[in-house]
Amino acid sequence: MNLDRTTIQALESILKRVRIIMRSTSFTPALPVTVATLLLTFAAAAAAAAQSFGPTLTHPSSTAKSASPDGFLQRWLILEPIRVNGLTDSAVQAAVRTDYFPNQLSVIPQDGDKVAIGNTNLIWHAVETTNYNVNLFHFARALHKPTSDVLFWAVTIVTCPEEMHGVRLAIGSNAASVWWVNGQEVIGIYGDRQTVIDDGLSKRLMLKKGSNVVRCAVINGGGATDFCARFLDQVDKPLTTLSVSVEEPR
């Protein structure tokens, strides 16, 4: 369990109040300890549910969520950043073709999973954004991780109510990014660029009925970094009937 500083301070305050109660009443020592333990457990669970990665990212509070009214995919599993360098087509392609961890292009991690890259353990975090975009700068800074010259892997699972043909994945990213749908690379956008809605579009593709895995690698040079993604239908209107989850449906 990862608790942020605010949560820890809140728990310390609760314990302090419990001790005050112990000293000022005739309660037996066992009772306050039990109460404190319960409070601690409750507060920790609440803190986990409300875990924040900055002003716009939280830990998902339910299993699945519909795409936003504008079709944006707002739930993602994101791996803590990996150090890389370069935003040109060739540098980005070389970065995403480097094997950092096993099954890099097929794994569907769980929240809290760790991968070892060199001597460093990096953690996958489930996040939900309140905006159309996922702010990776907030994400990395909240975890005290680097935000420049880094690569973020992100995965989400999109559940489609029926098989859909002729749809396109539409993405934007700061900066470069490469995207896969159900294991197929479908888009790459390169260079030092800002996130623009529907900046890059895939060719027309098919979404299966049920689960579809969307994966991306976003590479930042310096400064702000974020991404956004949605699917467009055959007439380029956002698909809003999709369900988005960070867990594979059972």
Bond preceding residue 175 cis, omega within 30 of 0: yes
**Interacting residue with other proteins among 95, 200, 213, 242 (CB under 8 A):** 200
- Distance from C-alpha of 77 to C-alpha of 127, rounded to nearest angstrom: 6
Q: Does 203 bind other proteins (CB under 8 A)?
A: yes
| From 40-48, 55-63, 83-91, 114-122, span contacting other proteins (CB under 8 A) | 83-91
Query: Under rule CB under 8 A, how many of the chain's residues touch other proteins?
Result: 18
By CB under 8 A, the residues from 179 to 198 that bind other proteins are 189-191, 196, 198
Shortest distance, CB of residue 4 to other proteins, whole angstroms?
A: 36
Q: Which residues of 59-86 are buried (b: 16+ CB within 10 A; e: fewer)?
A: bbeeeebebbeebbbbbbbbbbbbebeb
Q: Determine the 3-state secondary structure of 108 from DSSP.
A: coil
Residues present in the chain in total: 250
Question: With respect to other proteins, which residue has the nearer C-beta, 82 or 232?
Answer: 232
- Among candidate residues 244, 189, 247, the one with its CA nearest the CA of residue 216: 189
Q: Tokens 């900046």 identify what position?
A: 199
Among 11, 201, 224, 243, binds other proteins (CB under 8 A): 201
Binding of residue 226 to other proteins (CB under 8 A): no
Which residue(s) pair with 244 in the sheet?
65, 158
* 238 touches other proteins (CB under 8 A): no
Q: Which is nearer to other proteins, 51 or 174 (CB)?
A: 174
Residue placing its CB nearer to other proteins in the complex, 57 or 170: 170
CB of 195 to other proteins, least distance (A): 11
CB nearer to other proteins: give 136 or 170.
170
Q: Is 237 in the site for other proteins (CB under 8 A)?
A: no
Q: Is residue 89 a contact residue for other proteins (CB under 8 A)? A: yes
Residue 235 C-beta: closest distance to other proteins, Å: 9
Binding window for other proteins (CB under 8 A); candidates: 17-25, 30-38, 167-175, 237-245: 167-175
Output the CA–CA distances (angstroms, integers) from residue 236 to 33, 106, 233, 239, in the order listed: 60, 28, 5, 9
**CB–CB of 144/81 below 8 Å?**
no
Task: Give me the phi and psi of 92, to 5 degrees please.
Answer: -70, -45
SS3 111: coil
Residues that bind other proteins (CB under 8 A): 88-90, 168, 170, 172, 189-191, 196, 198-201, 203-204, 232, 236
